[in-house]
Chain A
């Protein structure tokens, strides 16, 4: 059941015209900063983790309006509920699919962003591990926000306002991943977000 749902969600992402949007956004942000900040390599390398984390957070929010709202509008969610399929399962599949859809391409594009920002190999590896640990939380938060704003006009902007404060711990531990214990806290933030996410999103989707 879970894999049928997940396969469907992944196919929907693969066919979406916005497939390349998050990763393009991520690389473009990394490419623009050297121009905006100036060619000071040491400064760029120092702020690179911050830039990359902000870009990753915003990239996770780009498809938020298409994560759940179309399914609510076209009756797909009704069909799932009437089959007695737990919305928690539906939302869990959506979180996994969203993570694969935005975080995996982003990790693949990280070397490019690292070169553009003058990141050293060791820093780049640490950042990749931090992103791997932290992006599941971002995916979960995005799906919660998508569930809360599904059916609202201009829900995307509101979703951003909902996610940003909740994503702060991930951002802080992610950027400060050279501090002892940051990886563990990052992993913990993701585990909490993944544990809460399916239930919070399902509760928001359930008709009153």
Chain B
């Protein structure tokens, strides 16, 4: 900053992320039937990938929008078309209202842009999920490389553009903490370091963000307080949303404390007009002024590789600077001028007298005090007489003020109007007009200028600051029931309990279990360990943790239904560590789940097999060396029987068979070519299917009627592999002998039926019949509600079909572990296995049993007693935050109406 004559010079700001002059295209309404093909030729096969788009070709300088930016202190904006997954190049524009584009365009191609969001201009159905977007990006990079090497004979202008934009800065709109990491993950595979547009929630797991080593672009659209005056409605607010209000303004500070390079943007704000207020808030919450300035000047310049031209005031850089009355980040500072490329934009007349301060005047025998305050461009008045405040308004320009204030009689809407000239001593001279038309002369003397009253105001402001600076502690995840400190693995000795081993020892009474180093260390009588926390478990039951073979909780998306095969997508890309159903499942004794892709297509996506380590980040939930699985599906869902659209192959079970034969034939050819050592086009979908052929990846297939179950086994046998698991498998009992012979397991519902035509013959005896025929049987949920009661669902196999209790219990523990190929680690209480155990209050198959402790690898992730303490803490924190929000509203801050948080219950057919 250069300071001269109480005028401060600062480089004008740069907004690195905008759509200035290139409006986002409007959404088109969909046609009657789904569109599976692209709308153009000579380009990439997917309409959501258009790297050939160049913002500069659509660019129209918008001087009205430019004025808003200029008034907010910006001199240069970086702009691109904010539509599609691959968006093409953007341009760097100086906000020079006088020159033409010849001067303004600093760089026609300043960067290449990406996102996870589909285009508004095309209804091509793929990709329909974030994991689909990730897979599409990966395949595109493989294809671009293959194309660059000259292996594709036909023309692809998209890939050509993508390759030629390679040297530019690559900017990715991620938009949330989870998506930041997902974008970075895609880039890492191809040695591309994206600059990532975040979501403002990065502070929630800052270490993971830091580990990306990416430069970031951070929006500051901090949420307004909720209007909590209506107590009934306020109860619908979630702690998570309330904390967002309280904590988000601290995001820039946390990023800065962790030395993450970031630029600030007006993106996500309704208008650049809101920028200063939010920025001041970020500063109040601890972002240093130096860092704030850097994030608006030299850092965006550096990210764009334009430090030689913009972002600083030194010889040779453009004459883009701001002239202010003082420290640019001081609330009271007046922005006088914003110079861009040497062209002057006057925001506020520098010669304008600062009339802010306190005045005295008397009119018609009454004496008044008037305070003039606020921003010089937007003054406010406070007029009091006899200790009572009058409603008042002021306008001020060219040394003249107009003031209106209400008369004493508050029942009437009558005003006293004043027009007065400001003299050299900032005194006001003019006349006053009364409601009845009487006029009199007016004189008001300034008794204190704003600088004199500063101290008092500062104190006032300091109070305000203190109020907002109390940021509530984050937890993992950052919502109700999150841990403020992650629980640690313990050595625990459970004494004198009934142990369901799931091993040849069977059910052991009056037995001790020692867990140590995350493993089951000893099972026996009279155990002791000096370092162990001893828990008397008399009268209780201990089992291995429940395993759900078929779950759809803890994922940001479930179906990639845009194509009839989506083998290229993976649920591992979209695990959501914040899903409250993780915690609720723990409360039902569940420790491991397979998050399966949905059933929108015959070949679905790859699974994530996770442990419910509530509080850990998504990546730490996924099993180490996880067995590889993929979801297949048969029947009504894949033939779209219950959909509005029905133009996709296959529409019948006949077609489903041929689809599999087609894909596996191609995969076989692909694999043969790959193994031959000859060059081949890398195809993620075919890679995945080849893993199945090579017995490296297992199938869990959603299935209902006997014909299709039989068919898929025959297709597999034709290609020399096995179907590992049939899930749902409601008519498994009709072909149980064939399944046993093929070696397929069955993971079914205990008693669901009658919801679709294909479950007309589903019977609750299914599990027992399959088991008796020698099939490995599991009971699964496919439902976030049922999954927390899987012990009860297992018990139904005792009722329906008369299974022994010991075998029934294995249906939700050891057997799903076997089906998932994790039975060497979990599924039974055996020395050396992971200490994934549950302590039940009662017989685990009983409707009267509650999980008291759910432990994974020695860490107690659910504890009934701790849960009760958490409930109290949640209530206390919520009432404090509600109180703070009421205060905010009373202070006159903007509020937003309450919305109710709702968690979608995901099933196979969820999007």
A joins B in a complex? no
